[in-house]
Amino acid sequence: MIVTVTYNPAVDQTLQFDEPMAADHVLRASDARFDAGGKGINVAQFLTALETPCVATGIVGGFTGQFVRDDMAADGVETAFVEVAGVTRLNTTALAEGTEYKLNHDGPIVDGSTADAVVERVRERDPDRVLIGGSLPPGLSTADVDAVAAAGDWATVVDMEGDALRALDEQYALCKPNREELAEATGADVSTVEGCARAAADFRSQGFDRVLASLGGDGAVLATADELLFAEALDVDVVGTVGAGDALLSGVLAAWERGTDDATALQNGVAVSSRLVEQAGTAVPDFDDVGALRDRVRVRRID
């Protein structure tokens, strides 16, 4: 069983405007969408849809926190959140004439006792794997991430920005940077697939048994102690890429939970991600044909 930890979840508000953005002018959105967001939130939703036992925990508060709870319940995701007095983030994306504007909230101020309560939520479930994903709210640091990794015998996976990955002190089973985060964490040239693969392999020495790097339209690489694998992206009609890295990670974790080898897990991750990008937003897509998609993903070793 997998527990996901999202310290700083959000309600993602997406607004579509049919006119350009302008100062001192009232704009009325022609369409609006609201989704529970955050890396661990997304992964929990995808894992549940992939029929992989999962519990989502983290920190929520206020009316937006209740929306996150309700949205997760609607997707059938089991949750064990810690409630705080503050309000969960509301992040707004405004789309106008082909331009994207992002207005993100830092999140509520959180103290150490709340972080300790999250650790207890994880201990209560005693999972095989724990995923810690996303940004940290004001008041928390990477020491709180390390505390989860050190609190039990589970394998801990982390998906955070590059500077946060460098600051971690515990040993982790896996980290999942995207291309930009891998460059930020390593300072390496990641302009080519081979460069990304070398950077991922080198980054293992920073305290990660495996490094899974999502490369957008180029696919993904997985660096382990024994091999360096590259999976090509599938040729699909891409509508949106938000949450694609979370879908990749979900597919890999779901496959490992079923006991597959690394190459098959990487294929499964690319298949799940391919299905997601065929739609806009991070709503859970239909994964019924993931097996057929997985068989189409080509994986090769990089020397």
CATH of the domain at 59: 3.40.1190.20
| pLDDT over threshold 70, residue 181 | yes
Q: Is residue 6 domain-shared with residue 145, that is, in the same domain?
A: yes
User: How high is the pLDDT of residue 62?
Assistant: 96
Does residue 206 lie within any of the structural domains?
yes
52-93 pLDDT, tens digit each: 999 999 999 999 999 999 999 999 999 999 999 999 999 988
237-267 pLDDT, tens digit each: 776 777 889 999 999 999 999 999 999 999 9
User: How high is the pLDDT of residue 47?
Assistant: 97
Q: Final residue of a domain: which of 150, 185, 208?
A: 150
User: From residue 30, how far is each of 96, 256, 279 by CA, in Å?
Assistant: 10, 43, 19
Q: Is residue 292 domain-shared with residue 165, that is, in the same domain?
A: yes
Pick from 182, 150, 152: which is nearest to 165 by CA? 182
User: How high is the pLDDT of residue 69?
Assistant: 96
Q: Is residue 110 domain-shared with residue 71, that is, in the same domain?
A: yes
Comparing 25-34, 92-101, 273-282, the range with the smallest average pLDDT is 273-282
Q: Is residue 204 domain-shared with residue 126, that is, in the same domain?
A: no
Q: Are 160 and 145 in contact (CB under 8 A)?
A: yes
**How many helical (H) and strand (E) elements, i.e. helices and strands, does the chain have?**
10, 15
127-166 pLDDT, tens digit each: 999 999 999 999 999 999 999 999 999 999 999 998 999 9
Q: Is residue 4 domain-shared with residue 127, that is, in the same domain?
A: yes
> Which pairs from 292-296 meet CB under 8 Å and 24+ separation?
293/234, 294/264, 294/267, 294/268, 294/270, 295/267, 296/234, 296/271
Does residue 38 lie within any of the structural domains?
yes
Average of per-residue pLDDT across 256-283: 89
Residues, the chain, total? 303
| pLDDT over threshold 70, residue 281 | no
Q: Is residue 207 domain-shared with residue 232, that is, in the same domain?
A: yes
Q: Is residue 89 domain-shared with residue 200, that is, in the same domain?
A: no
Average of per-residue pLDDT across 285-300: 88
Does residue 257 lie within any of the structural domains?
yes
Q: Is residue 126 domain-shared with residue 8, that is, in the same domain?
A: yes
Q: Is residue 113 domain-shared with residue 166, that is, in the same domain?
A: no
**Distance separating alpha carbons of residues 217 and 35, to the nearest angstrom:** 24
Does residue 136 lie within any of the structural domains?
no
User: How high is the pLDDT of residue 241?
Assistant: 72
* Annotated catalytic residue 111: no
Q: Is residue 173 domain-shared with residue 303, that is, in the same domain?
A: yes
8-56 pLDDT, tens digit each: 999 988 888 888 888 888 989 888 889 899 999 999 999 999 999 999 9
86, two tokens = 């503050």
Does residue 75 lie within any of the structural domains?
yes
Provide CB contacts within 8 A for 51, sequence distance 6+.
none
Our CA dihedral for 178, 200, 6, 49, rounded to 10 degrees, sits at 70
Q: Which residue has the higher pLDDT, 286 or 42?
A: 42
Q: Is residue 96 domain-shared with residue 122, that is, in the same domain?
A: yes
Instruction: Please report, rounded to a whole number, the percentage of residues in the chain having pLDDT higher than 70.
Output: 98
User: How high is the pLDDT of residue 227?
Assistant: 94
Pick from 108, 104, 67, 106: which is nearest to 84 by CA? 108
Does residue 301 lie within any of the structural domains?
yes
Q: Are 297 and 271 in contact (CB under 8 A)?
A: yes
Q: Are 149 and 22 in contact (CB under 8 A)?
A: no
191-241 pLDDT, tens digit each: 999 999 999 999 999 999 999 999 988 999 999 999 999 999 988 877 677
**Distance separating alpha carbons of residues 64 and 68, to the nearest angstrom:** 6
Domain interval for residue 245: 161-303
Give just the sign of the alpha carbon dihedral 3, 4, 8, 11.
negative
Q: Are 97 and 111 in contact (CB under 8 A)?
A: no
Q: Is residue 167 domain-shared with residue 125, that is, in the same domain?
A: no
Pick from 41, 43, 46, 49: which is nearest to 11 by CA? 41
Domain count, the chain: 2
Choose the catalytic residue: 35, 146, 246, 262.
Answer: 246
